[in-house]
Every structure is written in C-alpha cells, then in structure tokens.
Structure 1
Amino acid sequence: MSKVLYIKANVKPEGESRTFKVSDYFIEEYKKKNPKDEIITLDLYKENIDFLKGEDLGKLFGPKDENSKNDPLLKYVYQFKDADKYVIAAPMWNLSIPAILKAYIDYVSVSGVTFKYTQDGPVGLLKDKKAIHITARGGEYLDSPYEMGDRYLKTILGFFGIEDTKTIAIENLDVLGADVNKLVSEGKEKAKDIALNF
C-alpha cells in the first residue's frame, strides 16, 4: 500500500480551476486502480501556508530528533518524507509556480530530512519515490525558455532524490478562440493513462 500526497496550489474557488479539473480526475482514476492506497490532500491555501520568518530558521536548520516530528513548523517536511508518491497540482503563474507552492517547498527543503550534505555534495534522501506535476497554462510553453515552474519542480524534486517525475500540461487555455473544454478533456485522457501505472 502506498501513501499519496496530493498537493494543491490554486486560489480559485472549487470547480473553477482548470488545473484541479484534471488533477482531481487523475486522483479519481488512481483510486480506481489502487483502492487500498492512502490519499492525503493538502490544499496549501486552506493550510494558510506562510512565508518563513527569521525565527523559523533555527528549527529548520537545527538538530532533528523525535521531538522535532511534533513541531508545527516541521510537520510538513515529515509528512512529505513519509509519502511514497506526490501529485502536485499547480497552474503556471507568471511563467512559474504560485508563490504559495514555493513557500511550501521552503518548508520541506530541510537538511537531514529530505536531503543531506556530504563531503561529495548534497544527496537526496527520498529515493525510489515518484511525482507528477499537473498544470494549466494560458499559452504554449512546452520546451520554452520562459517556462520555469515545471523545470524548477523537477529540479528541486531531483535534489530530494525523486527522479521519476512526470508532467501533464494543459496548454493554450487562454488563446483567443481556444476550445477550453476540449483541451481540459484531452488533459483528463492523459491523466487517465498515466494514473494506470503511477
């Protein structure tokens, strides 16, 4: 049985996010194939994820022991570490990811938990896990130098040791005359295919 952490990062009301229309469908299809797996949904806006403050740094960079697992600031990194699979649903905002998702990543980028430093450089501690980033984009950004959100997520996840990372990008949604329903439906079909073997 696997533990799936479903991380949602969009401020839009329920039912309006095109990203969530595809990511929620992915989760539904995944559950059909893996009914015994545990799905943990983490909506970052409902969690009120905030930016790190100066007084938080001591806990993040200090020693880790059994007591640190109960610290409210560190709960996110231990939750992240304990998951086997990650579904990250975040639209492209201003060529990257929503700021709240970057703030969350700051909470889970903790030396000694998700990675460690060695004489040979940093080493990821989350090997043999997998992730998928599901994102909606207004234009065509596949292989574009302007796209920095998906590249960043793959880089930071790789830094943690998560090398099996896929992307479902629903593109051109804001192009004049775009058939948004068709594009979202095509995204769902991709989601269904990937969910079968995720």
Structure 2
Amino acid sequence: MSKLLHISGSPRGTDAESLRVAEVFLDAYRDAHPGDTIEHWDLWDGSLPGFAVGAKAKMTVFSGAEPQGEEGEAWNAARRVFERFDAADRLLFSLPMWNHSVPYVVKQFIDVVSQPGWVFGFDAEKGYTGLLAGRGKKAAVLSTSAVWAPGLPPSFGTNFMSPYFTDWLHWTGIDDVTEIGFHPTVTGDWDAARADVDARARELAKGF
C-alpha cells in the first residue's frame, strides 16, 4: 500500500478550481487504489512554522554544529514539517497561480522543508544532490490560472510557477513528475476546459 499526500496551496475552499480538480483526481485514485491512504494538507491551516530563527539554525547546521536553544526549537519544528512531507510516497500538489508564481504559503513550505541533510546534500566541488532520489516517490502537480494561458501575450502574465515548482521537485531528487494544467483564460470556454482537465486528471490518477 502507498500513502498519497495532497498538499493544497489555495485558501479559497470550494471556490478554488485547483481544489475542485484535485478532488476529481482523488476520487479516481481511490477507485483505482482502494487500499492506499490519502491525507490532505492545507498549507493555510497554520501548521507551517515561521523560519526567521530557522534560517539561523540552517546556517548553524551548514557549519557542522547542532542548533541549540531557540534555534534548536525552530529546527525541530521544521523537521516535523519535513517528516510529514517525506512520509508520503505519492504527492499531489494543487497550486493556483498568484502573481505569475506560487502563493507565498507554498514558497514558505518549500523554504521550511528544503534543508541540508533532509532534502539536499552539498559538495563544494560537485554542487547539490537531491536526497529524495531513488526512493520511488512520485509527484503530480495540478496548476491553475484564470488569466495566463499558453500562447497568450505577456500582457496576460508569465508562467513562472510551473517551471519553478517542477524544477524544485527535480532538485529534491523526485524525477517522476506529472503535470496537469487548467488554464481556461477569462474569456475561454470554462465548461469545456473543466471537462478536458477532469478527464486528464481521472486518467492520470489511475496509474499514479
């Protein structure tokens, strides 16, 4: 059996297209994988710690020392977030586009879990190594936008979200990444776009 963790980046509840399509995906996943465990992590639920002190702890770790006191508490709080993320071997991310990129709470999640010895190793000559590689982890990234869409001019925005987020996953060592996009534009046919993305989500979920 596998564990699927759905990490959502929208605070809009039932009004969010990203969450709606995620539920379509998860319904199909449940049917295809009845023995698997599914957990939802709403990044807006207050579970992400601040990282001002954690950033100092990170540099302490980089120097080869062990964080102590306030730094140690911040490091342990970040570790708990990482362990929740790392406990899943199937990851579904539902991400709305905000200002050409990910919502700030998604960036906060990335900055909290992306720590030396957890997500990456580093060598001064060879550079970074993704520590989540070779463990059978798979990710599906569902991205949505209401204005930007492929082929539109720059006045409709630029998609920094998908390249950035997918590159981060690859950097961690997760190479098996599937992308699902819902980008109907303001004047598009939303019903037809919903039908298309729902069909793709259901199909991908079966083999995820």
TM range, smaller chain: 0.7 to 0.9
The correspondence for 1:57, drawn from 55, 58, 66, is 55
Deviations 1:55-101 (A, max 9, x none): 1224445368xx99x93332111222222121000111111111110
Q: TM-score, normalised by structure 2?
A: 0.83
| Structure 1 Cα separation of the partners of residues 100 and 199 of structure 2 | 25
Aligned to 2:182: 170
Q: 2:170 aligned with 1:158, yes or no? A: yes
Q: SS of the residue aligned with 2:193?
A: helix
Unpaired segments ≥5 residues, structure 2: 67-71
* Residue 139 (structure 1) aligns with: 147
The answer to whether the 8 Å contact 1:8/1:44 transfers is yes
Q: Please report how far the alpha carbon of residue 33 of structure 1 lies from its aligned counterpart in structure 2 after TM superposition.
A: 0.8
> Is the aligned partner of 1:196 residue 2:206?
yes
Deviation at 1:23, TM superposition (A): 0.7
AA at the equivalent of 2:198: K
What is the total number of aligned residue pairs between the two structures?
A: 192
Normalising by structure 1, we get a TM-score of 0.87
Alignment match of 1:126 (pick from 104, 124, 132):
132
Identical pairs, percent: 25
- Greater radius of gyration (CA): 2
Query: Where does the alignment leave 5 or more consecutive residues of structure 1 unmatched?
Result: none
Residue 48 (structure 1) shift: 5.0
Please state if 1:111 is matched with 2:116. Answer: yes
Q: Which secondary structure state, in structure 2, belongs to the residue aligned with residue 90 of structure 1?
A: strand
Aligned AA (1:8): S
Q: State the Cα RMSD in Å.
A: 2.4
Please state if 1:28 is matched with 2:27: yes
* Distance in 1 separating the partners of 2:165 and 2:96: 12
Displacement of 1:37: 1.4
- Give the aligned residue type for 1:133: V
